[in-house]
Amino acid sequence: MKKKKKSLIEKIKRFYDKKIKKNMTKYTMKETALFMIITFSFGLVLGGIIMYGKGPFSNSSSLNEFIATYNEISSYYYQDVDDEKLLEAGIKGMIGYLGDPYSSYMSGETAEDFNEDIDGYYQGIGAEIKYEKDKVIIGRIFEDSPASKAGLKTGDELIKVEDKSIKDMSLAKISSLVKGEKGTEVNITVIRDMKEILLKIKRDNVDSISVTSEIIEKNDKKVGYIYISVFASNTFKQFEKELKKLEEDKIDSLIIDVRGNQGGYLTAVTDIISLFVKKGEIIYQLKRKDNIEKIYDKTKDERNYPIVMLVDSRSASASEVLVGALKETYKATIVGTKTFGKGKVQKVSALSNGSIVKYTYEEWLTPDGNYIDREGITPDEEIKYVYDEKIDNQKEKALEIILSK
């Protein structure tokens, strides 16, 4: 006789008590309740507000049918059944029924990559790699990172990880070999000045860099330039730091570049907007069925110098929230091509096995109440990007416009 298996509802309750409920203590309500993500590699299914479930699933009659079916198959199917995969198939079926491109189920490495990107840090050595003429070259090395402390240098040619040749490996594969649990060590071999050098590097938590800046001096003016690659949990702090550095150098104006930025934490973009607009101004609006909530700036921070924003067709979700607010409330000028058009918000639940379930929860609107989903935001100055190794034509146009203000 088969040993009686635990019912689905018992497993779900156990998952909740051990994992979800436990994990809720790690985050503030602000962090777990307001979170917008967008990604194209997963079919643009990200881009919503993250909230952990507040309790076990309800025990409705409809759910009882699902549970009964699960228990029947799990207990009496003539072949062995993987309970986890059976449950996963049921979850995927529910998500698939919605027919919503922004609702999804992610498991395994996909969920891990998602969390890593949006958390703004990972466990590794803190160095970027790239291919140059069939060679794997060390690019940017993060400040105070394990790689920096171990003596790794930009321009080193990476040839081995743990005595394993990385020849013909993809960058993703190499990166997975170098990354690892905090406190563990990794041996890498590089070529520098025609000599092989073996470095033993102790892995640690490494902050991902999502904000970079520079000052462009032209026509006796100083123009600040900030690029934001994603709105991760640490993006606001990075942005505020770079902005203060630019302002200490007495910039006259600012260009904010979100080309290719597919979204991120709503809290991050909200805090960034609040640095510029006046207290009491509308930042964006949230629509839930027949209810519309206006989100106002509650800070004393504000700026009044000219701002130009650079956008393209991959600027989406949280990026569009920033664009909409600075365009309509701050009166910034938008340059580039029409943005993607993602006006949906999602709730996300983290399951005990590390999987993530996301479903559309509400919609967001610009300060003036414009709904940009599938429409995008049209720039004030439309200009297509023309590839050139020496000149960024969109950036040059933004510079031309801001110097004329």
Q: CB within 8 A of 175, min separation 6: which ones?
A: 124, 129
Looking at residue 197, its amino acid is I
For β-strands 307-311 and 253-257, DSSP reports them as: parallel
- Give phi and psi for 126, each to the nearest 5: 85, 45
* Distance from C-alpha of 124 to C-alpha of 201, rounded to nearest angstrom: 9
Query: Which own/partner contact pairs does 172-180 have at CB distance under 8 Å and 24+ positions apart?
Result: 174/129, 174/136, 175/124, 175/129, 178/124, 178/125, 178/127, 178/129, 179/122, 179/123, 179/124, 179/125, 179/203, 180/123, 180/124
- pLDDT in the model for residue 111: 66
Pick the CATH number of 211-343+362-403 from 3.10.129.10, 3.40.50.1100, 3.40.50.150, 3.90.226.10: 3.90.226.10
Distance of CA 230 to the CA centre of its chain: 5
Note the pLDDT of residue 272.
98
pLDDT of residue 40: 34
Q: How many CA atoms lie within 13 A of 3 on its CB side?
A: 3
Looking at 315, 317, 319, 355, which residue is catalytic? 317
The whole-number pLDDT of residue 50 equals: 32
Orientation angle between helical segments 266-274 and 318-328, nearest 10 degrees: 20
Name the active-site residue from 104, 319, 346, 394.
346
Give DSSP secondary structure letters for 188-255: EEEEETTEEEEEEEE-EEEE---EEEEEEEETTEEEEEEEES-B-TTHHHHHHHHHHHHHHTT-SEEE
Q: What is the pLDDT of residue 1?
A: 40
In the prediction, which pLDDT does 290 show?
83
What is the per-residue pLDDT for 151?
96
Which residues of the chain are under the pLDDT cut of 50?
A: 1-5, 9, 12-13, 15-58
**What does residue 179 show for φ and ψ, rounded to 5 degrees?**
-70, 155
Q: How much is the pLDDT for 45?
A: 34
Find out if CATH 2.20.25.10 is the number for domain 122-207.
Answer: no
Q: What angle do CA 332, 336, 341 make, to 5 degrees?
A: 85
Q: What is the pLDDT of residue 201?
A: 97
How is the chain split into domains, by residue range?
8-119, 122-207, 211-343+362-403
CB 310 within 8 A of CB 381: no
Catalytic annotation present for 346: yes
**Residue 385: which residues within 8 A CB-CB, separation 6 or more?**
259, 312, 336, 337, 392, 393, 394
Question: How far is the CA of 105 from the CAs of 8, 21, 101, 354, in angstroms?
Answer: 18, 20, 11, 11
pLDDT at 18: 45
Smallest CA-to-CA distance from 179 within 201, 159, 151 is with 201
Res 257: pLDDT: 98
Helix (H, G, I), strand (E, B) or coil at 31: helix
Catalytic residue among 11, 342, 347, 358: 342
pLDDT tens across 259-273, in order?
Answer: 999 988 889 999 999
DSSP designation for 346: E
Nearest to 239 by CA among 213, 264, 265: 213
Q: Cα-flanking dihedrals φ and ψ of residue 78, to 5°? A: -70, -15
Q: Would residue 317 show up in a list of annotated catalytic residues for this protein?
A: yes
